[in-house]
Amino acid sequence: MHLFRTIAELRIWRSQQASRSVGFVPTMGYLHEGHLALVRRARAENETVVVSIFVNPLQFGPQEDYDRYPRDLDRDLYLLEREGVDAVFAPSVSEMYPSGFSTAVVVTGPIAERLEGEARPGHFRGVATVVTRLFGLVQPQRAYFGWKDAQQVLVVQRLVQDLALPVDIVPLPTVREADGLAMSSRNVYLSPEERVAASAIPRALFAALERFRSGERAAAALRELVRRTLTTTPVRLEYVSVSDLETFQEVEYVERPALLLVAAWIGTTRLIDNVLLDPGAP
């Protein structure tokens, strides 16, 4: 497995892979089973697999957790080598954003301006900028993302469509712990007591999903069920939304696929999660 720390090294190697299909998994490191599921899918569908490890400062707000975001490159490299990854790109901030860097990529509209876009101003601008830069460097045929960050997936899909980038975005289902909690690098912040409390988030989502499968289509009723489920827990709900999967507008009734999305705080840790509401599902 190759480890590249500079763009120049990556470009030389990538030119040698020109005839091979490349699958790409962009990450911020501190890998967990959710990341590895993406890697395995990329390994199954491509001749070459590239993973990036870069904690992108552009997608963190001034009061967010950039400085304390968990990092362990040696552990990540060990896990990726076991999965048969061909190359890891782990640049420094100065390598990705050298002095004078002044370009940003901005996706507009509800898909990037509601929910996470409103709660974390500038977040999706940072995501779109780094993803565009990474796609240009790695030049993958396919890139793999997890549905845990569903709004991010939709932003990247819109970015690729609007800029006609030659890469297929492959979303994979959220990987969960045994109690349903979505795997996230930020779960490491949780104390043992907070970790137990965090399981209320998927419990609330799946209770609403079960109500939906039983025929409930009113978004207000589904949102209220999530709120009610979390009321007696230490979880502090930031938002609960039922958003159309295509337009990302809030809906009153679920008549076509939509996402039930939650952002919540447990102590000082902010977690997000979602489930798909699909009226056409069996």
Q: Known catalytic residues?
A: 35
Q: Please check whether residue 256 is in contact with residue 191, taking contact to mean a CB–CB distance below 8 angstroms.
A: no
Sign of CA dihedral 189, 229, 115, 155: positive
Residue 127 identity (one-letter amino acid): V
What is the DSSP secondary structure assignment for residue 255, as one 8-state letter? S
User: Two tokens at 183?
Assistant: 């795997």
Distance of CA 176 to the CA centre of its chain: 14
Quick one: which of 22, 26, 273, 251 has its CA closest to 156?
A: 26
Residue located via tokens 């552009």 = 58
Q: Work out whether strand 2-4 and strand 87-89 pair parallel, antiparallel, or are unpaired.
A: parallel
Radius of gyration of the chain (CA): 19
Q: Please check whether residue 248 is in contact with residue 154, taking contact to mean a CB–CB distance below 8 angstroms.
A: yes
Sign of CA dihedral 152, 154, 158, 161: positive
Q: Please check whether residue 261 is in contact with residue 248, taking contact to mean a CB–CB distance below 8 angstroms.
A: no
Determine the Cα angle at 214 with ends 208 and 216, to 5°: 65
Phi-psi group of 164: left, alpha or beta (phi > 0 → left; psi -120 to 50 → alpha; rest → beta): left
User: Two tokens at 241?
Assistant: 């939304």
